[in-house]
Amino acid sequence: MTQKNVLVLCTGNSCRSQLMHGYLTQLLGEKATVYSAGIETHGVNPKTVQVMQEDGIDIAHHTSNHVDEYGAVPFDYVITVCDNAREACPVFPSSAILFHHNFPDPAKATGTTEGVMEQFRAVRDEIKAYARDFARQYFNL
């Protein structure tokens, strides 16, 4: 099996796409190169890094990238993780299979510090389940 290229696309490449990027990288290993990008760049949210560390995945080295940076990459799969990204998603000149799931944006969470972190963890867990299902279905893992 040749290595596949997977792009996870979000609005700001700060939370949801970073979470999915972390899980898919862990799950797919050598079977795929995983990229994440936004239609804007907002920087990687420190709470995203924290909730991934709680689950044993270090994404502290991730950067927030703009989708235009990957124009030359032949993607096999593109996963949009928010409605805004799907609506504004550029057309990829490839035969990429497109997927979409609108996850809640934990960056919009309000309330106490612990309440906000609980919302980050809830979205993390939803994304982890989606990543596992994706890996199982498309990579036979």
The catalytic residues are 10, 82, 89
Amino acid at 104: P
What order do you get walking across the sheet with 97-100 strand by strand? 32-38, 4-10, 77-80, 97-100
Residue with tokens 């504004």, as numbered in its chain: 88
Residue with tokens 């990957």, as numbered in its chain: 70
In this structure, the chain runs to a length of 141
The number of beta carbons lying within 10 Å of the beta carbon of residue 126 is: 15
- Residue 9, helix vs strand vs coil: strand
